[in-house]
Structure 1
Amino acid sequence: MPDRPVRKIIHVDMDAFFASVEQRDDPGLRGKPVAVGHAAARGVVAAASYEARRFGVRSAMPSTTAQRKCPDLIFVPPRFEVYRSVSAQIHAIFADYTDLIEPLSLDEAYLDVTEDRRGLGTASQTAQEIRARILEATGLTASAGISYNKFLAKLASDQRKPNGQFVVAPGRGEAFVEGLPVQRFHGVGPVTAAKMERLGLQTGADLRRQSLEFLQHHFGRSGPWYHAIARGEDDRPVDPVRTRKSSGSETTFASDLTDPEAIEAGVAEMADEVWDWCETSGSRGRTVTVKVKWADFRQATRSRSFSEPVASRERLREISRVLVRAHYPPTRGVRLVGVSLSNLETAGAASPALALS
Structure 2
Amino acid sequence: MLTPDAAARLGGPELRIDLDAVAANCRLLAERVSGDLMAVVKADGFGHGAATVARTALASGAGWLGVTSLVEALDLRAAGLTAPVLSWLNPVGADFAAAVRAGVDLAVPSPAHLAAVAGGAQRSGWGAARVHLHLDTGLARDGAAPEEWGALCRAARAAEREGTVQVVGVMGHLALADLGGPGANAAGRAAFDRGLQVARSAGLRPAHRHLAATAATLGDPATHHTMVRVGAGLFGIDPSGSTRLRPTLTLTAPVVSVRRVAAGTGVGYGHHWVTPRATTLALVPVGYADGLPRTATDHAEVLLGGRRRPVVGRISMDQVVVDLGPCSPVVAGDVATVVGAGDDGAPTAAEWARWAHTLEHEIVTGLCSAPPRVRRCVSTGSSWGTR
Return the TM-score normalized by structure 1: 0.28
Return the TM-score normalized by structure 2: 0.26
